[in-house]
Structure 1
Amino acid sequence: MQTAAAAHPLDRLSAAEIEHNRKLLEQAGLVGSTTRFPLVLLDEPAKATVLSWSPGDPVERRVRTTLLDRSSGEVTEAVTSLTDGAVVGRRTVDVRTEGQPPIMAEEFALVEEILWADEGWCAAMAARGLDDPRRIRVSALSAGAFDIAGEEGRRLVRCLSFLQLDDSDNIWAHPIDGVVAYVDLITAEVVELIDDGVFPLNRERADFQPSPVTQRESQRPIEITQPDGPSFTVDGDVVTWEKWRFRIGFDQVEGLTLHQIGFEDGERLRPVIYRASVAEMVVPYGDPSPVRFWQNYFDAGEYSLGKEANSLTLGCDCLGEIRYFAAVIADDDGRPRSLANAICMHEEDHGVLWKHTDSYNGTSSVRRQRRLVISFFITVGNYDYGFYWYLYLDGTIELECKATGVVFASAYPGPRPDGSEYPWASEIAPGVGAPYHQHLFSARLDMMVDGPLNAVDEVEARRVPVGPDNPYGNGFTRSVTRLRRESEAARLADGSVGRAWHVVNGGATNQLGQPTAYALLPEGQPTLLADPSSSIARRAAFTTRHLWVTAYDEAERYPSGQYVNQNPGNTGIDTWVRADRDIDGADVVLWHTFGLTHFPRPEDWPIMPVDHAGFVLKPVGFFDRNPALDAPEPASRHCSSGEVGDGRPACH
């Protein structure tokens, strides 16, 4: 079986290549009737290989596949060479120490069938007045790792249940609290059923789809048009916009990835980032009750962000002159599945770029900021997340993550006997609670500021006391501390001193002789709030710091390891940095933790307005001057005004 040759080492896997991969695994005897494909990923070549490649050079295409035998639970990792038509590597994964592959789509339906047929679970439901099991929807949730006897090596989920009043009902409004089932997905049995008591069941509907009668009629249309078309060009996966050039990628774990981001400066395309992605996100819950203490979800490593991507809709998810990209991933059977409109790209006006009115020379000048938006949206159970990468005219890069969807509801127990409120959740509707939780993301930024060898400086504002050099006390300065080894580079943000991290190239300077750099500007919201001794603190060690800097290693792709599901916490970033590698003038990767701490509000019910988290990368001495000085004057022909003007052009 032959597949079309890839034009670049980082080209996304095609449907034909995914089919070819499956065929090679079949021919090698690795696929049987009970084999499933939790992971099928492009085995990206090492950075040095990609950077040394030139158009016309041969491209070897490799695929890394994780296979699960549903009859035995055995997990095999195989590498195929599509170029050579052979399996070139295989090993058995030790699920006890390495963890399990992600949960697959078919397992959600499997769990419902198991519980609907289980006598103990059905009896627990009947005790709550629920006699029709098939009206009860089961949320199969990742099990974590808690050193519970008998769970070692099992492929488990822990299951909470919700009543669905009818086929159109919002199930999340009706949590059946107090009972949780631990289910083995291989043996298809309930390993343990915990019943912590019967709580009142909320049966009030909480739909969020307004009827045509109830929708407001005050809004008039906003039309965003680009009569001459968009300013970007697309050649395969390569995008050129204004002075930016980059490559789009997509895989089933991280979803959207951006590669080889560079900025055209004169005759040079100057590299900034080799590879950027959201490599993991975890949602740790703060309710320690017997049925909820284990609630911690790794949406990338346990559920696969790319597999959960939405097909986006024009005018709803994206507005303007849109360019969509389809994504092709492998389904649970190892065959290609196309996700239409998985990635959305468009331009947005973003207000004023710069402006000045000068009373000395009588001039007034203004330019409009514009940004390129590359985004995708996922749904993981009750929550929905949008990931938006922004590129700006002035060389700024931003990532914004948007959290929405339906909060994970519980029964609200009401005040305690001493009159105090329940300390672990908010009451968001009568009798309905929402446990406190966090949404913590890890951005993996494989930096390449003006080349592959960079260093990281921690820069912060510093007060200067009154003294001979500061007699009036008005002076302040900044301090710069080089992070020289991995042991020094696990850092917390500090907004009180404006702490930022500058990625510096000591071998490249601007016209002032300063090293070129890009600054990571963190939001500095809380890191993980769970106790340092907790299971989640071990498994999601990356969430305990806002920044980690590691020396590049192509095998270190995910901050909690390759197999996060039921991993006890022994393959994450905290284990890598024990090597304490030199990062001063090295090939460095930044891992930035950011996110939200969510104390749900009544206004978050029955559907949550978008909440935002993210960070900014800003050039610092990377350019000799403002790189957007050549931005064109704004045109007023696409604007309108409700007032009569004086005849002058809008911008002058």
Structure 2
Amino acid sequence: MSARRAFCPADPWLILDGMDAHPLDPLTAAELVAGRDVLVAEGLVGETTRFPAVLPEEPAKSAVAVDRRIRFTLLDTATGRAGDAVVSVTKRELVSWEELGEGQPAFMFEEYDLAQQITKASEGWQAAMARRGLTDRIEHAFCAPLAPGYFPRDDEHGRVIRSLTFLRDDEHDSPWARPVEGLIVHIDLTERRVLRIEDEGDVPVPAEHGRYWDVPARTTLKPIEITQPEGPSFTVNGAEVVWEGWRLRVGFNAREGLTLHEVSFQDRSVLYRASVPEMVVPYGDIAPGRFWISYFDAGEYLLGKNANNLRLGCDCLGVIHYFPAFLADDHGRPVEIPQAICLHEEDHGIFWKHTDLAGHPEVRRSRRLVISSIVTVGNYDYGFYWYLYLDGTIELEAKATGVVFAGGGIPGEQQPHATEIAPGLFAPVHQHLFCARLDVAIDGERNSVHEVDVVGVPTGPDNPHGNAFTWQNTLLSKESEAIRLADPAKARVWEIRSADRTNRLGIPTAYQLVPRPSATLMAQPESSVHARATFATKHLWATPYRADERYPAGDRPNAHSGGAGLPAWTAADRDLTDTDVVLWHVFGLTHVPRPEDWPVMPVDRAGFMLRPYGFSDRNPALDLPSGGHCHT
């Protein structure tokens, strides 16, 4: 029997010199300060030391004693040397220190400014702007700092970033509307110098601005008011949330952003942990300024560190509870996002209804609990919405919006890899591929994964009239068998079954992972991004739980050659039967931009459901009140 920590709402809280913390809670400001103080005392922090990532080191499932730990990634900006330090803030001591191997830490906010300063100070960049007749536009030009992918050259090593240039009328203008096509600056951040400049072609800069906030508002929409006179149905105690049979803990960290922990329904475990630990945004354009773009928004930029402070009535509507988040800045000091996570209820239409033969209708309305966070990474904005439903269903929806990334071209020309969305402005085809990590615990930790397909039966003795179809069940007993693609034509789902509990019909209690149709990585197998984002080539991976297997592209995808994460772990082909299983589900958007996406993109949605299948003995929401909404 494993020593996984049991789901226990009454887990004792830790009191640490005035710092109250459950073992799975987000970091507090006091803990960040205490951890940094330990590193200073150990001589690991100097004048040029920076903190690209500061993350909670969550306790192992087997942990009995509570020890709150923080993993600090340290970077010496003068030398480029980097390492990971684990600090126990409970014991006020350094637990470990290790220099980093392949790959770079995530980029820091101060490096964005540094890249622009180096670019604008470069005589080569100034000459390229002058050659194009743009000298008078230099003051307000925006030099975007962009992750370089992995295309090693003799003059590139260590901490390298690329910069593309966009024109603005002033510092408040949209920075994405007027690209200076073909001008690429390669920068060494450690040596603080330009490595080289590419200046390809003489495409005119698009003339139109991208100011989407200047449009007069329509006056025809009437207000919609959402009220709950008696307050919300949920209760919050610290990071713990209880709502209509659900109990869970809400977490947040600088890399993943929003996380869920110890999720149970009707006092039975469903998920130990759920998050979106990585996403990759590969571009399909071969132009010099874009072929290398394949952003890892969690591993290279840190999703949580880029989280928005949410606003009532705009980002969230209704009766809201906000959770704050404390993150470390580039110097390792705490910064608060006061309203990083939004919690609220919302109506969700009809839950169930039937009109009997006498004409009497019974109807109940659905509602769902929404736990959400929004991040802005450069030009794109991503909303992550976890929905909990009254029947035990869990849904994750990722919403992509913001401003599409575009280059310049000749107005009216046809490009094979980009669409014209405004005169002379071409947005490349690209993808947004998310990977959810689901540490499932369906009625305990001993679970197995089955693939269930609906298939037709050939006409014959078993199908004499040709109408029959059935389902096929396949046990995915080891890692090599659980690397799978979705198949909407077969209504394919993946079913996670308990080894320890059955329902009243004698079948194992289960949940189904229900994918939405979405493409996988479109890049070719020999491409750099295919090696670095192999996780995105399949819709499903499954692994046995390991505490150090957290990120599907590996710990440090920035400037990494590839092969880390899921492809490396699953090469061991470990057993998955009746064990502590982690599912990795890839889903997302493949975007062929359209004029309607400019100058700001309407929300595009992707996601999946975790749906109970025999987890309950019957509809668990039969007792919902009618609510007094029905009128004749």
Measured against the shorter chain, the TM-score band is over 0.9
In the TM superposition, what is the alpha-carbon distance from 1:590 to its structure 2 partner? 0.5
Residue in 1 that maps onto 2:87: 80
> Aligned pair 1:541/2:534, yes or no?
yes
Match of 2:251, as an amino acid?
G
Q: Which runs of 4+ in 1 moved over 6 A?
A: none
In the TM superposition, what is the alpha-carbon distance from 1:7 to its structure 2 partner? 4.2
Query: Residues 548-627 of structure 1 correspond to what in structure 2 (within 5 A)?
Result: 548-627=541-620
Aligned equivalents of 1:381 and 1:433: distance in 2?
A: 18
Structure 1 contact 415–422 (Cα < 8 Å) conserved:
no
> Aligned pair 1:509/2:502, yes or no?
yes
Query: Residues 111-510 of structure 1 correspond to what in structure 2 (within 5 A)?
Result: 111-132=115-136, 133-152=138-157, 154-211=158-215, 214-264=216-266, 269-359=267-357, 363-413=360-410, 421-510=414-503
Residue in 1 that maps onto 2:73: 66
> Aligned pair 1:43/2:57, yes or no?
yes
In the TM superposition, what is the alpha-carbon distance from 1:151 to its structure 2 partner? 2.1
Residue in 2 that maps onto 1:650: 631
What SS does structure 2 have at the residue aligned with 1:209?
A: helix
Structure 1 contact 540–572 (Cα < 8 Å) conserved:
no
Residue in 2 that maps onto 1:10: 24
In the TM superposition, what is the alpha-carbon distance from 1:158 to its structure 2 partner? 0.9
**CA displacement 1:415-471 (0-9 Å, x = unmatched):** 77xxxx210100001111001100000000000000011110000101001111221
What value does the CA root-mean-square deviation take over the aligned residues?
1.4
Equivalent residue pairs, number: 617
In the TM superposition, what is the alpha-carbon distance from 1:623 to its structure 2 partner? 0.6
Aligned equivalents of 2:178 and 2:149: distance in 1?
A: 25
**CA displacement 1:137-174 (0-9 Å, x = unmatched):** 1110001112333323x101111110011233212110
In the TM superposition, what is the alpha-carbon distance from 1:563 to its structure 2 partner? 1.0
Aligned equivalents of 1:69 and 1:234: distance in 2?
A: 41
Residue in 2 that maps onto 1:646: none
In the TM superposition, what is the alpha-carbon distance from 1:134 to its structure 2 partner? 2.5
Residue in 2 that maps onto 1:641: none
Aligned equivalents of 1:4 and 1:594: distance in 2?
A: 42
Structure 1 contact 262–271 (Cα < 8 Å) conserved:
yes
What SS does structure 2 have at the residue aligned with 1:554?
A: coil
Structure 2 contact 412–423 (Cα < 8 Å) conserved:
no
What SS does structure 1 have at the residue aligned with 2:104?
A: coil
Aligned equivalents of 1:545 and 1:248: distance in 2?
A: 28
Aligned equivalents of 2:434 and 2:574: distance in 1?
A: 24
In the TM superposition, what is the alpha-carbon distance from 1:291 to its structure 2 partner? 2.2
In the TM superposition, what is the alpha-carbon distance from 1:210 to its structure 2 partner? 3.2
Residue in 2 that maps onto 1:102: 106
Aligned equivalents of 1:528 and 1:413: distance in 2?
A: 29
Aligned equivalents of 1:548 and 1:342: distance in 2?
A: 30
Q: TM-score, normalised by structure 1?
A: 0.93
Aligned equivalents of 1:415 and 1:650: distance in 2?
A: 56
Q: TM-score, normalised by structure 2?
A: 0.96
Aligned equivalents of 1:351 and 1:339: distance in 2?
A: 33
Aligned equivalents of 2:477 and 2:154: distance in 1?
A: 43
What SS does structure 2 have at the residue aligned with 1:630?
A: coil
Match of 1:372, as an amino acid?
L
What SS does structure 2 have at the residue aligned with 1:172?
A: coil
> Aligned pair 1:91/2:93, yes or no?
no
Query: Residues 25-40 of structure 1 correspond to what in structure 2 (within 5 A)?
Result: 25-40=39-54
Deviates more, 1:202-211 or 1:571-580: 202-211
Structure 2 contact 161–186 (Cα < 8 Å) conserved:
yes
Deviates more, 1:224-233 or 1:163-172: 163-172
In the TM superposition, what is the alpha-carbon distance from 1:8 to its structure 2 partner? 2.0
Deviates more, 1:33-42 or 1:143-152: 143-152
What SS does structure 2 have at the residue aligned with 1:375?
A: strand
Match of 2:95, as an amino acid?
V
Residue in 1 that maps onto 2:4: none
Structure 1 contact 413–422 (Cα < 8 Å) conserved:
no
Match of 1:17, as an amino acid?
E
Structure 2 contact 285–428 (Cα < 8 Å) conserved:
yes
Task: Give the unaligned 5+ runs of structure 1.
Answer: 637-648
Structure 2 contact 341–372 (Cα < 8 Å) conserved:
yes
What SS does structure 2 have at the residue aligned with 1:110?
A: helix
Match of 2:39, as an amino acid?
L
**CA displacement 1:603-631 (0-9 Å, x = unmatched):** 00000000100001100011100111111
Match of 1:22, as an amino acid?
R
Match of 1:308, as an amino acid?
N
What SS does structure 2 have at the residue aligned with 1:25?
A: helix
Residue in 1 that maps onto 2:10: none
Aligned equivalents of 1:67 and 1:334: distance in 2?
A: 9
In the TM superposition, what is the alpha-carbon distance from 1:413 to its structure 2 partner? 3.9
In the TM superposition, what is the alpha-carbon distance from 1:508 to its structure 2 partner? 1.0
What SS does structure 2 have at the residue aligned with 1:511?
A: coil
